[in-house]
Structure 1
Amino acid sequence: MLVNVSYSNKELTRKIDTEVGKPFTLKERWALGGIGSPRLFITEASLGIRNLLILDNNRDQCNVEIRPKGIIVRFRSLLETYALVIPYYKLTIYKGDLGIYSIYRDQHFLKVKADTKAVQKFFTKLLNHKADNAPTSIEDL
């Protein structure tokens, strides 16, 4: 689900919380060692996301937030903030050549550069969290 999250909208917040879970509490964030990624530079994106990113001349970057049942990838274009909401059962991550990670959800995808140890450590944490919390059967959804 690709949505504009620039403005406070209770209905949209409820939809996001239903899909990927409510944000972690401060205690849970501390126990996980943080839930946010470092700044990720976008190298390639699907058509819908690319059309948003080319509206301004800034460097394309995003960040990832880990939630209990999925992730939220946030990026900015012009003065708007967009979020790609991905539950774990729809999340696919590939590690490609030259340290490029590909994040997929249905027809949407982002390819980000993993040029530092911090980025690689974050993706390891994300994949471990997904393995521990992804639904194992259709009844778990």
Structure 2
Amino acid sequence: MLLNVSYTDKQVTKKIDEAVGKPFKLRERWDMGGIGSPRLFITETSVEIRNLLILDNNRDQCNIELRPKGIIVRFRSLLETFALVIPFYKLTLYKGDIGIYSIYRDHYFIKVKADTKAIQKFFIKIQNYKADNAPTSIEDL
């Protein structure tokens, strides 16, 4: 689900919280060693996201927030902030051969450059958290 999150809207916040859960409490964030990624540079995207990113001439970048039931990939275009909300059961991660990670949800995808150890550690954290906390059956959703 691709949403404009530039402005405070209770309906949008409710949609996000239903899909990926409410944000972690401060103590949980501390225990996990942080829930946000370093700055990620986008190398390739699906058509819908590309159409948003080409509106300005800035370098394409995003960040990822880990939530209890999924992740949120945020990026900016012009003066707007967009979020790709991905529950764990729809999240697919691929690691490319030249330091590129691909993040997929249905027909949306974002490929990012993983050129530092911090980025690689964050993607490992996502994979481990997904393995430990993803629903094992449809009733768990």
TM-score range, shorter chain: over 0.9
Show the counterpart of 1:100.
100
**Count of aligned pairs between the two proteins:** 141
Q: In 1, distance between residues paired with 2:88 and 2:133? A: 8
How big is the shift at 1:100? 0.2
Deviations 1:59-95 (A, max 9, x none): 0000000000000000000000000000000000000
Show the counterpart of 1:83.
83
Is it true that 1:130 corresponds to 2:136 in the alignment?
no
Q: Which amino acid aligns with 2:41?
A: F
Q: In 1, distance between residues paired with 2:48 and 2:11? A: 23
Moved over 4 A (4+): none
Show the counterpart of 1:140.
140
TM-score (ref. length: structure 1): 0.99
Q: RMSD value over aligned CA atoms?
A: 0.3
Pairing 1:27-46 to 2, within 5 Å after superposition: 27-46=27-46
Is it true that 1:50 corresponds to 2:16 in the alignment?
no
Deviations 1:25-81 (A, max 9, x none): 000000000000000000000000000000000000000000000000000000000
Q: In 2, distance between residues paired with 1:100 and 1:62? A: 14
Q: In 1, distance between residues paired with 2:54 and 2:133? A: 35
Q: In 2, distance between residues paired with 1:12 and 1:62? A: 20
TM-score (ref. length: structure 2): 0.99
Show the counterpart of 1:13.
13
Q: In 1, distance between residues paired with 2:128 and 2:19? A: 19
> 2:16 is paired with a residue of what secondary structure?
helix
How big is the shift at 1:97? 1.3
Is it true that 1:68 corresponds to 2:90 in the alignment?
no
Unmatched tracts of structure 1, length 5 or more: none
Q: Which amino acid aligns with 1:116?
A: T
Q: In 2, distance between residues paired with 1:11 and 1:43? A: 31
